[in-house]
Structures are given as C-alpha cells and as structure tokens.
Amino acid sequence: MNEVAKVIQLRTDAAESPPRARRRSSLERVDVLREVTSITERIEEANPPQTLGEAARRRLTRTITGTADFLRRRITGDYHVDEFGFDQHWLESVLLPVVRPIYDAWFRVEVRGIENLPVRGAGLVVANHAGVVPLDGLMMSVAVHDNHPVHRALRLLAADLIFETPVVGTIARKAGHTLACTADAERLLRSGELTGVFPEGFKGVGKPYSERYKLQRFGRGGFVSAAIKTGAPIIPCSIVGSEETYPKLGDLAPLARLLGLPYFPVTPLFPHLGPLGMIPMPSKWYIEFGEPIPTDSYDPSDADDPMVTFEVTDQVRETIQQTLYRQLAKRRSVFLG
C-alpha cells in the first residue's frame, strides 16, 4: 500500500516535435498563402481556351473582375501606404500591368540569377544605367516582381529630377521609390526592403552611344556605406539592351539648360520625327543578377573609411562591367538577341 501512483504522460505530436517545428513563423505562413489559388484559376488551368474568341472572353472577364476588385478596395480604403508613400496595391494593380506588355512583348526581357536575390530581408541591387530615358528602372522592377518567388517589390533610389517632375514624381512615390540619398537608403534597408540603385546617375543614362556599355564613375560610394551600416548584401545587376533603346548621337546643351534638363538628346529618330521619335527601339533585353557580395563581416565604422568603400565600390563596378562584356560576347543581334 506504500506504492506511489505514477503519472504517465500521454505522447502527442506536439510533445514529439521541438517548439520550432510546431510553430511556423509569420513569414512562412505568408509564403504558403501565396501558393493558394482560387478554384476559378484551377478550372481555367485545367481547361485551356480552345479558340481565340474564348480566350478573349476569359481575358475580358478577368479584366472586369480585377477592375471591380480594385475599385472596391480603393473605395473602402482596404490598402496600405507606408511612410515613403509606397502603395503596393496600386503598384500591382495599375503600374505593373501597364508596363508588363512592354517588358514581355517589346523588349522581350530575359532574366537570369533571380535566385541571388534574398527571399526576405534587406538587399541592395546595384545596376548599370543607360538608355537616355531611364526605362531600365521600370524593367528591373517588373523583372524582380514577376520572377521572384514571393514577388517582392524593388524600391529604387532615384534622382531629385524624378520627384520634381509633375505626375512622374507622384507615380514614383506610389511605386515605392525615394530620393537617392544615403539616409533614405539606410531607412529602406533597415526596414528589410529590397532596394535598387544606379550609381552612375545621369552620367550613365545620358552618355553617348559611342560609349555604350562602358560604365561611368560610381559616385562617391554612398550605396556601399549604406549597405555596410545595415549589413545588407550587395547584388550586382547587369542590364544589356537598354543602350540601344534611344541611341544618343548628340546633345542640344543650350536647349537642355533652357528646360532645366541634364541633357536634350538627339537620336536617329528624335527630334526629327517628333512624338514618333520617342518610341523606343525594340532591342532584346537581358537582366542578370550576380552573386551577392556580403557586407555583414564589416564593422559599421568601416562605412566611413574611404579605403573600404572604394574597395567594395570597385569590386561591384568590376563585377558588373565583366558581366556586361560576357553577355555582349554571347549576343548575336541587338534586336533578336
């Protein structure tokens, strides 16, 4: 009678697995939710349209449904705008659908190395800049969003002129872009955003066609300083095809000064053909994201060391330049690739 009763614990699945295995992070749940598709989408995938008329009807139905959903969310305020003015609902519902046909059908962009972009967390994409009109920023934004496994938005650092231009500045803010300054770059990276920058600035986008695919100076290394302070990896990005969209043969400097522009380009079609000359050449584009260059091994104080920033800047610049040369060596035609 002196025996002590023993409590035998029942084995459960929760007891067998460690806490981390039982509990999914919010980010993992988001990834799972992204894979969920509607029953309508599954039915359409299983039953592809048999005729062009049926395909057109389905497309019209999707357009009407999407428009109705967009209007409902805008009217009810079911969308979020962050401190920079970024409106992801507007970006995915308005801007990207407008740009996507140019991306797919006109420039026929091919993307490589998308796996080098971080799935989550901060990252700084550094790319070459060219083409007179900065279409490369738009194309890179579509490339990241449409090819990334979780469809991340690329937050670009742009010149003051963009935000001073009526309409264009408002669109840029809604798309999530902000001024190209170290302070804003650090704020975006500390918030875990995927950020993009063109260190060549106007020197790159406005260079003459005779200097195509020859990288200009990469500023003072401000982007490297922001990456080191935040520990964000730097992802070199090389873009081929942008140089041929508006081949710059000359520059009407007096007219540029009068209009307050960094340059007023003369191309084979502009200004001779007026508005028609503003149609870009249908060059074949390639966007390649290189292997990340880690910065978390540096001490934050290294961000203020000119030797360190110069070394990393030179490494990024040389990586992009060599990748451009390699891509150009493989290309057989400007328009066919």
The pLDDT tens digits for 219-247 are 888 999 999 999 999 999 999 999 999 99
Strands 286-289 and 234-240: antiparallel
Give percent of the chain above pLDDT 70. Answer: 87
CA distance 167 to 164: 9
- Extract long-range pairs of 12-21: CB within 8 Å, 24+ residues apart: none
Same domain, residue pair 111 and 50: no
Report if residue 255 sits inside a domain: no
Quote the pLDDT of residue 45: 66
- 156 pLDDT band, cuts 50/70/90, is very high
Are 314 and 173 members of one domain?
yes
Q: How many domains does the chain have?
A: 2
Of residues 175, 30, 161, 44, the one with CA closest to residue 97? 175
Q: Give the list of residues 6+ apart from residue 128 with CB closer than 8 angstroms, or none.
A: 136, 198, 200, 204, 213, 215, 237, 238, 239, 242, 320, 324
11 vs 264: CA distance, rounded Å = 76
For residue 17, tell me if it sits in a domain.
no
Q: Identify whether 251 is part of a domain.
A: no
Last residue within a domain, chosen from 78, 112, 142 = 78
- Distance from C-alpha of 227 to C-alpha of 296, rounded to nearest angstrom: 9
In a domain, 141, yes or no: yes
* CA dist 222 → 95, 134, 228, 294, 303 (Å): 29, 21, 10, 16, 9
Residues 160 and 103 in one domain: yes
pLDDT score of 77: 83
User: Is residue 320 a part of any domain in this protein?
Assistant: yes
Please say if the pLDDT value at position 130 is more than 70: yes
Average pLDDT, the chain: 87
- Both 67 and 189 in one domain: the answer is no
In terms of domains, do 176 and 47 share one? no
Q: Which tokens hold the place of 302? A: 């290294």
Tell me if 198 is assigned to some domain: yes
| Mean pLDDT of all residues in 269-274 | 93
Residues 233 and 293: their CA atoms lie apart, in Å, by 6
185 and 117 together in one domain: yes
Q: 315: domain range?
A: 93-245+280-330
Dihedral sign, Cα of residue 209, residue 214, residue 217, residue 222: positive
Which is nearest to 100 in space by CA: 144, 61, 48?
Answer: 144
What is the CATH number for 196?
Answer: 3.40.1130.10
Is there a domain that residue 112 lies in?
A: yes
Q: Which residue has the higher pLDDT, 3 or 133?
A: 133
123 and 185 both lie in a single domain:
yes
Q: What letter would DSSP give residue 219?
A: T
